[in-house]
Chains A and B, each alone.
Chain A
Amino acid sequence: MAASTVAANFDVFRFDPARQVQPRYQRYTLELAPHTPVLTALLRIRAEIDPSLTLRYSCRSAICGSCAMQINSKSRLACQTPIGPEVERHGRVVVEPMRNQPVLRDLVVDQASFWAQYDRIEPHLKLDPAHPMPEGRTTSMTPEEVDRFKETPRCIACAACFSACPAVEADPAFPGPMALAKLYRFVVDPRDGATQDRLVRIQPNGLWLCLRCHLCTEACPKDVRPSERIRDLKEMAIAVQGGTEHGSKHAIGFKDNIVDLGLLNEMKLVRQTFGVGGMLGQLPQGLKIWRKKPEVIRKPHRIEGADELEKIYAELDKRSETPK
Chain B
Amino acid sequence: MKIAYYPGCVAQESGKELDMATRWVCRALGIELAEFPNFSCCGSGFVDEANEVLNVAINARNLAIAEKAGLDLLTICSTCQGMLSLANLRLKDPAVKARVDGALKPLGIEYRQTVKVKHLLRVLTEDIGIPAIRAKVRRPLAGLKVGAFYGCHLLRPADEMAWESGEEPHAFEDLLAAIGATPVYYRGRVMCCGFPIQFVKPETAAGIAGRQVLDAKAHGADAMATPCPLCHISLDAYQNQAAKAVHRPLDLPVFHLPQVVGLALGASPEEMGLPRHLVSTDSAIAKISSVPAAAARP
Residues from 248 to 288 in A contacting B, C-beta threshold 8 Å: 250-252, 254-255, 257-259, 262-264, 266, 269-270, 273-274, 285, 288
Q: Are B57 and A251 closer than 8 Å at their CB atoms?
A: no
Interface string of B215-249 (1 = CB under 8 A from A): 00000000000000000000001101100000000
Given contacts A263-B40, A292-B277, A309-B58, contact A171 B158 (CB under 8 A): no
Is the CB of B94 closer than 8 A to any CB of chain A?
no
A263 engages B41 (CB within 8 Å)? yes
Report Cα–Cα, A169/B211, bound state, in Å.
10
Could you tell me how many residues of chain B have their Cβ less than 8 Å away from some Cβ of chain A? 64
Is residue B33 within 8 Å, beta carbon to beta carbon, of the partner chain?
Answer: no
- Interface extent on A, as a size class? 35 or more
In the complex, chain B residues whose CB is within 8 Å of the CB of A225: 157
Neighbouring A residues of B238 by C-beta, 8 Å: 285
Give the chain A neighbours of B127 by CB distance below 8 A. none
Instruction: Check B204 against A258 for contact (C-beta < 8 Å).
Output: no
Contact of B197 among A234, A247, A266, A270 (CB under 8 A): A247
In the complex, which residues of chain B have a beta carbon less than 8 angstroms from the beta carbon of A289?
A: 14, 237, 278
Pick from A170, A257, A304: contact of B211, CB below 8 A: A170
Please determine whether B204 and A251 come into contact, CB atoms closer than 8 angstroms: no
- Assess whether A250 is in contact with B200, with CB atoms less than 8 Å apart: yes
Residue contact B51 to A292, C-beta cutoff 8 Å: no
Q: Are A315 and B50 in contact (CB under 8 A)?
A: no
Q: Is the CB of A306 within 8 A of B40?
A: yes
Given contacts A295-B16, A316-B103, contact A303 B37 (CB under 8 A): yes
Contact (Cβ within 8 A) B58 A214: no
Q: Are A211 and B103 in contact (CB under 8 A)?
A: no
Q: How far is the CA of A296 from the CA of B276 in the complex (A)?
A: 12
B39 touches A214 (CB 8 A): no
Which of A166, A227, A270, A298 has the largest number of chain B CB atoms within 10 A?
Answer: A166
Chain B 141-199 residues near chain A, CB threshold 8 A: 152-153, 156-158, 166-168, 187, 190-192, 194, 196-197, 199
Cβ distance B186 to chain A, nearest Cβ, rounded Å? 10
Q: A247-B200, A295-B14 are in contact. Are A214 and B156 (CB under 8 A)?
A: yes
A213 CB within 8 Å of chain B: yes
Q: Is the CB of A217 within 8 A of B157?
A: yes
| Interface flag for B268 (CB, 8 Å) | no
Cβ contact within 8 Å between B157 and A214 = yes
Considering the complex, which residues of chain A in the window 46-87 have a beta carbon less than 8 Å from any beta carbon of chain B?
Answer: 73-74
Known: A289-B278, A313-B54. A167 touches B204 (CB 8 A): yes
B12 within 8 Å of A by Cβ?
Answer: yes
> Which residues from chain A contact B48 at a C-beta distance below 8 Å?
231
Which A residues between 156 and 173 are near B, CB-CB below 8 angstroms?
166-167, 169-171
Query: What separation, in Å, do the CA atoms of A167 and B193 have in the docked complex?
Result: 11
Query: What's the Cα separation between A64 and B298 when bound, in Å?
Result: 53
Set of chain B residues within 8 Å of A296, measured between Cβ atoms: 13-14
Does A215 lie within 8 Å of B191, measured CB to CB?
yes
Total contacts A-B at CB 8 Å = 195
User: In chain B, what residue has the closest Cβ to A290?
Assistant: B14
Closest to B109 in A: A308
The answer to whether A255 and B51 touch across the interface, beta carbons within 8 angstroms, is: yes
The verdict on A151 contacting chain B, using a C-beta distance below 8 Å, is no
Residues of A contacting B40 with CB < 8 Å?
Answer: 258, 262-263, 303, 305-306, 309
Q: Is A105 an interface residue (CB 8 A)?
A: no
What residues of chain B lie closer than 8 Å to A285, measured between beta carbons?
Answer: 238, 240-241
Residue pair A263, B9 in contact (C-beta under 8 Å): yes
Which of B9, B43, B104, B278 has the most chain A CB atoms inside 10 A of its CB?
B9
Q: Are B61 and A213 in contact (CB under 8 A)?
A: no
Q: Known contacts A167-B197, A311-B106; is A234 also within 8 Å of B204 by CB? A: no
Tell me, yes or no, whether A222 is within 8 Å of chain B by CB.
no
- Also in contact, A213 and B106, with CB within 8 A (given A73-B187, A285-B238, A293-B276): no
Question: In the complex the two chains form, what is the Cα distance from A67 to B40 in whole Å?
Answer: 46
Residue of B with least CB distance to A165: B192
A95 to B187 Cα, complex, angstroms:
14
In this complex, what residue of A is CB-closest to B195? Answer: A211
Is the beta-carbon distance between A209 and B204 smaller than 8 angstroms? yes
A320 CB contacts on chain B under 8 angstroms: 53
Asked if A198 is at the interface (CB within 8 A of a chain B CB), the reply is: no
User: In the complex, what's the smallest C-beta–C-beta distance from B172 to chain A, in angstroms?
Assistant: 16
Given contacts A170-B207, A213-B156, contact A315 B103 (CB under 8 A): yes
Q: How far is the CB of A82 from chain B (nearest CB, A)?
A: 15
Judged by a CB distance under 8 angstroms, whether A192 is at the interface is no
Would you give 7 A-B contacts (Cβ < 8 Å), ordered by A?
A167-B208, A255-B47, A264-B44, A266-B14, A308-B61, A312-B104, A316-B53
13 other A-B residue contacts (CB within 8 Å) besides A246-B200, A251-B50, A312-B61: A167-B192, A212-B196, A215-B190, A218-B156, A231-B49, A234-B49, A238-B49, A255-B47, A259-B54, A263-B12, A264-B9, A289-B14, A296-B13
Which residues of A are in contact with B by a Cβ distance under 8 Å? 73-74, 89, 166-167, 169-171, 208-215, 217-218, 225, 227-228, 231-232, 234-235, 238, 245-247, 250-252, 254-255, 257-259, 262-264, 266, 269-270, 273-274, 285, 288-289, 292-293, 295-296, 298, 303-306, 308-309, 311-313, 315-316, 319-320
Return the 10 tightest CB-CB contacts between A and B, nearest first.
Answer: A214-B156, A254-B46, A213-B192, A315-B103, A264-B9, A305-B38, A251-B50, A213-B152, A262-B40, A251-B49
